[in-house]
Amino acid sequence: SQQGEEDPQALSIQEGENATMNCSYKTSINNLQWYRQNSGRGLVHLILIRSNEREKHSGRLRVTLDTSKKSSSLLITASRAADTASYFCATDEGSNDYKLSFGAGTTVTVRA
Amino acid sequence: DAGVIQSPRHEVTEMGQEVTLRCKLISGHNSLFWYRQTMMRGLELLIYFNNNVPIDDSGMPEDRFSAKMPNASFSTLKIQPSEPRDSAVYFCASSLQGWSYNEQFFGPGTRLTVL
């Protein structure tokens, strides 16, 4: 079963707007990662946030983690057409550190 | 480095045929993951190798699926015999050490269609 679940399933925004998507998970984690998948391509790692971190930035990306609510959010600021992709959160399973569980993803469409 | 390389990129075969998917890891990486992606089930981990040794194959659907890592840089995933429900995109990913705090580098995937 999937550990992480993204919300919303799909998001359509205008270029220049911000995009926010959320991820909820069920069990304790060591860290949470976000990946991007462009259509017909493999997943690309975006950012990792550890369980003892609350917020992390990378360029136009901002990730938050609330372990008390078992949730994370990914914010893409000033979106571009090239940000059109599916975004997945991936969580480990605690004891099995190597094993990542991916959510179903949020499909983001950025309109020019 | 060219990244993770997978071949073929597309495979169309008939039910009952043997299918072999190939993956070349990034040089220096010692962990390999095979995933399957479908609309219905999302991304599922099939098997995980660390230092050429299969550590977790609990995601392998059934005995028709087998995976090998004959050397540190190469892996195969074989389906024999293939069935229409095996149609999916198969990804391999590599990483250093294999612990989740290391990012996984995904290949471009093999789109398998079993008729």
Q: What letter represents residue B48's amino acid?
A: Y
Structure-block tokens of residue A78: 């000033």
Question: How confident is the model at residue B78, as a pLDDT?
Answer: 98
Contact state of A41 with B108 under an 8 Å Cβ cutoff: yes
Question: How confident is the model at residue A2, as a pLDDT?
Answer: 52
- Residues of chain B predicted below pLDDT 50: none
Contact state of A31 with B100 under an 8 Å Cβ cutoff: yes
Omega of the bond leading into B81 within 30 degrees of 0 (cis): yes
Residue B40 CB burial class (10 angstroms; 0-12, 13-18, ≥19)? exposed
Q: What letter represents residue A107's amino acid?
A: T
Question: How confident is the model at residue A1, as a pLDDT?
Answer: 46
B 21-40 residues inside an 8 A Cβ radius of A? 31
Q: In angstroms, what separates the C-alpha of B17 from chain A's closest C-alpha?
A: 25
Q: Fill in the DSSP letter of residue B4.
A: -
Confidence of residue A99 (pLDDT cuts 50, 70, 90): confident
Distance CA B48, CA B45 (A): 8
Among A69, A62, A73, A91, CA closest to A11: A73
Omega of the bond leading into B8 within 30 degrees of 0 (cis): yes
CA angle, A48 as apex, A47 and A52 as ends, to 5°? 140
At A15-50, the pLDDT tens digits run: 999 999 999 999 888 889 999 999 999 999 999 999
Task: Collect all residues of chain A within an 8 Å Cβ-Cβ radius of residue B91.
Answer: 42-43
